[in-house]
């Protein structure tokens, strides 16, 4: 008989759980609620909440919205979003993950510390000091290891008025100017190993006259899933990885599953399961990303058992 195990460590991270809980609480009040972007990178969960009344909008639609209530998802938003909400009399339900929020503040503080928080009233500011601060600012680089265009990264870059440099992979680090100061941060869901490789490369190449500081801002709840999911994938004949294909975290974790178990398959829903995969298979491990709801993994398990029973 086919044995199926659902990974206890898989499923929503704290940030996503909180965002969905806040959305459900508001919807239960009977209020019209908008969400800026998909609340989670999982189409099935987005569809479930849409049926309950959650309306997903993009930034262009936000600009046209007035006198409404909008939920900000766990990924976070740049300062411009909050300013727009204030102008349009929009009530914000802020579900930004605390880890992301702390990272935004660190980047903003560093940006201002570098001399970028320059006053506009020249009557109150010594011009020579201001020019010196501007020169200091251009001499340093705030670098974010993350995915270009990702909602979290857009929010982080926004803390620097789009002056931060984004590197997506290890090879991109060569584009940095090693004669200038470098302050390195990471998107919270990136690979810890690759982040350490980037740190080592910069340490080896940074000029003696330049300063380099790195800040490990990777969420441990996410990072710790890498070794755990490897152990889980290795002990099963087949791995069914359930995640939306837009999920950055899902891509990283699925790659990890494949690296230890070549008989790994990714699906977004139970409809994508191919029973041909299960020939000569005795044990199946079902796992997922930080954007994967438990109910969806359970639904996939039930579908496999149903088709196995009917066969």
pLDDT tens sequence across 32-68: 999 999 999 899 999 999 999 999 999 999 999 999 9
Answer for the pair 37, 77: CB distance below 8 angstroms, yes or no. no
According to the model, what pLDDT value does residue 197 have? 96
Q: Is 57 helix (H, G, I), strand (E, B) or coil?
A: strand
pTM of the model: 0.81
According to the model, what pLDDT value does residue 189 have? 86
Active site residue 24: no
pLDDT digits (tens, 9 = 90+) for 250-294: 988 999 999 999 999 999 999 999 999 999 999 999 999 989 999
Exposed, middle or buried by CB within 10 Å (0-12, 13-18, 19+), for 254? buried
The C-alpha R_g of the chain, in whole angstroms, comes to: 23
Answer for the pair 188, 103: CB distance below 8 angstroms, yes or no. yes
**Measured distance CA(229)–CA(231) in Å, rounded:** 5
**Measured distance CA(275)–CA(307) in Å, rounded:** 8
According to the model, what pLDDT value does residue 130 have? 43
**Strands (DSSP E) along the chain, which ranges?**
3-6, 33-36, 54-57, 69-72, 91-94, 140-145, 165-167, 181-186, 212-214, 238-242, 264-267, 283-288
Topology agreement, domain 14-97 and domain 99-218 = no
Average pLDDT, the chain: 90
| CATH number listed for the domain at residues 3-10+222-310 | 3.40.1010.20
Choice among 26, 77, 152, 268 that is catalytic? 152
- φ/ψ region of 280 (left if φ > 0, alpha if ψ in -120 to 50, else beta) reads left
According to the model, what pLDDT value does residue 311 have? 65
Pick the CATH number of 14-97 from 3.40.50.11270, 3.90.79.10, 3.40.47.10, 2.60.40.10: 3.40.50.11270
pLDDT digits (tens, 9 = 90+) for 134-163: 445 456 999 999 999 999 999 999 999 999
According to the model, what pLDDT value does residue 124 have? 39
Domain ranges of the chain: 3-10+222-310, 14-97, 99-218
CATH-assigned architecture of domain 99-218: 3-Layer(aba) Sandwich (3.40)
Kindly state the helix (H) or strand (E) to which residue 305 belongs, with its residue range: helix 294-310
pLDDT digits (tens, 9 = 90+) for 151-199: 999 999 999 999 999 999 999 999 999 999 999 999 998 888 899 999 9
Answer for the pair 206, 175: CB distance below 8 angstroms, yes or no. no
Place of tokens 């789009």: 162
- φ/ψ region of 107 (left if φ > 0, alpha if ψ in -120 to 50, else beta) reads alpha
Percent of the chain with pLDDT over 90: 80
Q: Is 234 helix (H, G, I), strand (E, B) or coil?
A: helix
């Amino acid at each position: 008989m086919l044995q199926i195990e659902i990974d206890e460590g898989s499923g929503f991270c704290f940030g996503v759980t909180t965002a969905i809980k806040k959305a459900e609480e508001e919807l239960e009040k009977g209020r019209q609620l908008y969400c800026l972007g998909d609340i989670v990178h999982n189409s099935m969960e987005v569809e479930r909440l849409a049926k309950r009344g959650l309306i997903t909008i993009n930034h262009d639609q936000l600009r046209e919205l007035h006198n409404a209530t909008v939920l900000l998802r766990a990924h976070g938003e740049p300062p411009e979003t909050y300013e727009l909400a204030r102008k349009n009399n929009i009530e914000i339900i802020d579900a930004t993950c605390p880890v992301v929020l702390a990272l935004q503040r660190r980047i903003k503080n560093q940006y201002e510390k570098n001399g970028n928080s320059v006053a506009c009233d020249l009557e109150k500011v010594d011009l020579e000091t201001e020019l010196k601060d501007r020169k200091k600012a251009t001499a340093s680089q705030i670098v974010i290891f993350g995915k270009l265009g990702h909602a979290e990264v857009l929010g982080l870059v926004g803390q620097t008025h789009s002056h931060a440099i984004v590197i997506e992979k290890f090879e991109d680090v060569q584009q940095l100017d090693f004669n200038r100061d470098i302050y390195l941060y990471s998107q919270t869901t990136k690979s810890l190993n690759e982040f350490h490789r980037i740190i080592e490369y910069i340490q080896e190449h940074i000029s003696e006259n330049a300063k380099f500081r790195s800040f490990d801002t990777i969420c441990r709840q996410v990072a710790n899933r890498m070794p755990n999911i490897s152990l889980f994938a290795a002990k099963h004949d087949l791995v069914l990885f359930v995640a939306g294909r837009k999920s950055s975290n899902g891509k990283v974790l699925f790659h990890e599953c494949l690296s230890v178990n070549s008989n790994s398959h990714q699906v977004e829903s139970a409809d994508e399961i191919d029973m041909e995969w299960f020939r000569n298979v005795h044990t199946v491990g079902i796992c997922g990303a930080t954007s994967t709801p438990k109910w969806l993994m359970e639904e996939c398990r039930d579908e496999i058992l149903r088709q196995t029973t009917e066969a």
